[in-house]
Amino acid sequence: MTYGTSSIAGNLSRDTVVLATDPIPSYTFGCLQKTTGKSVPQQGLLGLGRGPLSLLSQAQHLYKSTFSYCLPSFRSPNFSGSLRLGPKGQPIRIKYTQLLKNPRRPSLYFVNLIGIRVGRRVVDIPPKALAFNPSTGAGTIFDSGTVFTRLVEPAYVAVRNAFRRRVKVANVTSLGGFDTCYTVPIVAPTITFMFTGMNVTLPQENLLIHSTAGSITCLAMASAPDNVNSVLNVIANMQQQNHRVLFDVPNSRLGVARERCT
């Protein structure tokens, strides 16, 4: 089978798995024997999606299809976040947006992204670039497995251009997959994702990625790839860092609250 750009060979197994003191009998999981490519980390993957073999589905009797995580910053010295399973211990003060189901991509967590602000100004984006469409699989998802946010091309170009205008530095370069990079210090405007029922405003630490030598700074977003995911906006790992992201599947809602994750 394949995952991302990797091919995988292994065995499908079933056994009792114990998380802390919670036994999960007849838990189905895969054991890798061989991988090619770089999409699958050596430590493995924990499935928290809506599919039938995810941890959430197989342990629904324990955790009621509810979980949250807080991802640490890439710059964190300890790089240790947290995962909370089940409705107990979840934050009370948190803003929610509705979770949507897309039959073309049933395992993903879709939300309704209605606009994007750069600084205080709403960016002029073609409505189709943000629209949820169950017929085509288009829309916006939260995905911790994607490193940097990807936006459908018209949306990305509009946000990128608005960002460049606010930064007001003439010399823009590129680095790797990033096309908005600077070789001088910059002050980045905030970027706000506007969802039905809530806004998530990202500060500079969630928007800028630095080269290893530290001499180049880039906007840590890119256009969606030119493949089956070209119609998908992905709110990714870096933009989620230092936020508590709560998936309340029984109540069809997703919550986000700012939190220091280390």
Short-list 201, 159, 199, 198, CA closest to 180: 159
Confirm whether 54 is domain-assigned: no
Domain presence at residue 159: yes
Asked if residue 181 and residue 93 are part of one domain, the reply reads yes
Tens-place pLDDT, residues 17-53: 999 999 999 999 988 887 777 666 666 788 999 999 9
Low-confidence ranges of the chain (pLDDT < 50): none
- Are 77 and 205 contained in the same domain? yes
- The pLDDT score that the predictor gives to residue 168 is 94
Q: What is the pLDDT of residues 191-204, one digit of tens each?
A: 999 999 999 999 99
Instruction: Supply the pLDDT for residue 7.
Output: 76
Residue 110 exposure: Cα atoms within 13 Å on the Cβ side? 20
* CATH code of the domain in which 109 resides: 2.40.70.10
Same domain, yes or no: 33 and 76: no
Instruction: Supply the pLDDT for residue 32.
Output: 80
101 lies in some domain: yes
Residues 76 and 158 in one domain: yes
Q: Tokens in use for 109?
A: 């967590």
Does residue 232 belong to any structural domain of this protein?
yes
Residue 26 zone, left/alpha/beta (φ > 0; ψ -120 to 50; rest): left
Residue 55 lies in a domain: no
> Is there a single domain that holds both residue 120 and residue 20?
no
- One domain for residues 80 and 124: yes
Instruction: Supply φ then ψ for residue 130, to 5 degrees.
Output: -110, -10
Shared-domain flag, residues 100 and 24 = no
- Show Cβ contacts of residue 219 under 8 Å, excluding neighbours closer than 6 positions: 160, 163, 178, 180, 181, 188, 207, 208, 209
* 158 lies in the same domain as 226: yes
| C-alpha span between 226 and 81 (Å, rounded) | 32
Are 109 and 247 in contact by the 8 Å Cβ rule? The answer is yes
Residue 20 sits in the same domain as residue 150: no
The residue among 189, 146, 152, 186 whose CA lies nearest residue 169 is 186
> Residue 250 falls within a domain, yes or no?
yes
Q: Rounded distance, CA 221 to CA 202, Å?
A: 12
CB 234 within 8 A of CB 149: yes
- pLDDT at residue 1 in the model: 66
Query: How far is 198 from 176, CA to CA, in rounded Å?
Result: 33
Using DSSP's 3-state secondary structure scheme, residue 161 falls into helix
**pLDDT score of 171:** 93
Count of domains observed in the chain: 2
Q: What is the pLDDT of residue 109?
A: 98
Same domain for 217 and 126, yes or no, is yes
Q: Which domain holds residue 20?
A: 1-45
Which residues on adjacent β-strands are paired with residue 32?
10
Are 41 and 83 in a shared domain?
Answer: no
